[in-house]
Chains A and B, each alone.
Chain A
Amino acid sequence: KQEVTQIPAALSVPEGENLVLNCSFTDSAIYNLQWFRQDPGKGLTSLLLIQSSQREQTSGRLNASLDKSSGRSTLYIAASQPGDSATYLCAVRSRGGADGLTFGKGTHLIIQP
């Protein structure tokens, strides 16, 4: 059974810093990995999707990498802003088992002005 772990569970940094969020998964047989953002009381917004054949994806100040063989992904946020404060969720779509996504518990990020 696929398990997804995110470290750290919470992070608070001053505005302007570059930061890295980590995600690990136990079964490397995946179709893709997706990073989401969730604001309090809201649904999930997809940030980046990395296919199993890809190594990284970039969108603006966000860069996500994937090392499928080691079961790891990182989300890099450059020049953080208070508006980046949210919970960031990592999810993988596995080749076996359920057809939906397996999620981590998320990293709760606070960017201090």
Chain B
Amino acid sequence: ETGVTQTPRHLVMGMTNKKSLKCEQHLGHNAMYWYKQSAKKPLELMFVYNFKEQTENNSVPSRFSPECPNSSHLFLHLHTLQPEDSALYLCASSQDYTTGANVLTFGAGSRLTVL
């Protein structure tokens, strides 16, 4: 494990389901990120949290709802998703987001399939 743990690793859900992805980091970092990786597209930044405060919402549809209860945990709540939302969702963390020497550590990802 890289220090950033994501669960579940695989998730299959229907369009009417509600599910959540979880991310936990054991690195003492203060910033956490959600990225989406779709087939044949670059990784897309979804959300950024710094010291539990959301600093970036990259025009993500409201059917994705992030939650950051503390600097170590990050959730992505999913509801009424579409098949095109099927992708690998990657969580990352970094010391903070304000310095140029920011190195991101990624988790292994949660593979989501929406039927």
Contact residues of A with B, CB < 8 Å?
4, 31-32, 34, 36, 41-46, 49, 51-52, 89, 91, 93, 98-106
Contact = CB atoms under 8 A, between A and B. Distances in A.
Interface residues of B, number: 30
Given A4-B42, A44-B106, A45-B2, A98 B101 contact: no
Contacts, number: 70
Nearest to B48: A99
Interface of B: 2, 4, 6, 31, 33, 35, 40-43, 45, 48, 50, 55-56, 58, 90, 92, 97, 100-109, 111
B101 A51 contact: yes
A70 B106 CA distance: 29
Nearest to B55: A99
Main DSSP-derived SS at the A contact region: strand
B64 to A, nearest CB: 15
Contact of A104 (B42, B100, B111): B42
A51 B100 contact: yes
